[in-house]
Amino acid sequence: MASFMLSDFLPYRLAVVASRMSGAYERRHSSDSGLSVPEWRVLAHLSQSSEVSVREIQTRVDMEKSKVSRAASRLEAQGLVAKVVNPNDRRLVSLSLTSEGKALMVRLTPIALQFQADVRALLGADAEQFEVSLNKLMKAKL
């Protein structure tokens, strides 16, 4: 039997590409934003759905709730996010962007879209098919 090749192993390759891509994107915006990846995810999610709980973000954004909670606290300390107890259900916290947070997202969005465009350009004609497969993997119960 041929010896096992880690460099051909799908989970490995995916992890390496994902880590490099996250790093590359982080380098592009961190000098402006100073955000970590978890903070970026929370901020970006809030920009598309204005009033959300920690739990909502946890499920939508694929992060542990403690990670979300801590990222939200850091964002609050930076003045980018407001945390208010939900009056209808006082267990929930309503997270929303401050005007400062919105302003940051206005600056970050074009950077994100440009980065994504660059990646797609790199893939050329295969980009669309690649994303279809990626969606399959997202939906699959791995």
Which residues would be at the binding site for DNA (CB under 7 A)?
Answer: 36-38, 53-56, 58, 63-70, 72-73, 83, 88-93
What, of DNA, a second copy, none, does residue 67 touch, CB below 5 to 8 Å by kind? DNA
Q: Contact residues for a second copy (CB under 8 A)?
A: 1, 3-7, 9-25, 37, 41, 44-45, 47-48, 60-62, 105, 108-109, 112-113, 115-116, 119-120, 122-123, 126-127, 129-138, 140, 142
Bridge partners of 85, per DSSP, are: 93
For CA atoms 16, 20, 23, 29, the dihedral sign is negative
What, of DNA, a second copy, none, does residue 112 touch, CB below 5 to 8 Å by kind? a second copy
Bridge partners of 93, per DSSP, are: 85
What, of DNA, a second copy, none, does residue 120 touch, CB below 5 to 8 Å by kind? a second copy
Q: State which amino acid sits at residue 20.
A: R
Taking CA 57 as the corner, what is the angle to CA 39 and CA 141, rounded to the nearest 5 degrees? Answer: 110
Smallest distance from the beta carbon of 89 to DNA, in angstroms? Answer: 4
Nearer to a second copy, 2 or 90 (CB): 2
The pair phi, psi for residue 95, each rounded to 5°, is -100, 140
Smallest distance from the beta carbon of 93 to a second copy, in angstroms? Answer: 19
Q: Which two tokens stand for residue 67?
A: 């990670």
Smallest distance from the beta carbon of 68 to DNA, in angstroms? Answer: 7
Smallest distance from the beta carbon of 20 to a second copy, in angstroms? Answer: 5
Q: Are 107 and 100 in contact (CB under 8 A)?
A: no
Distance CA 16, CA 10 (A): 10
Give SS3 for 81.
strand
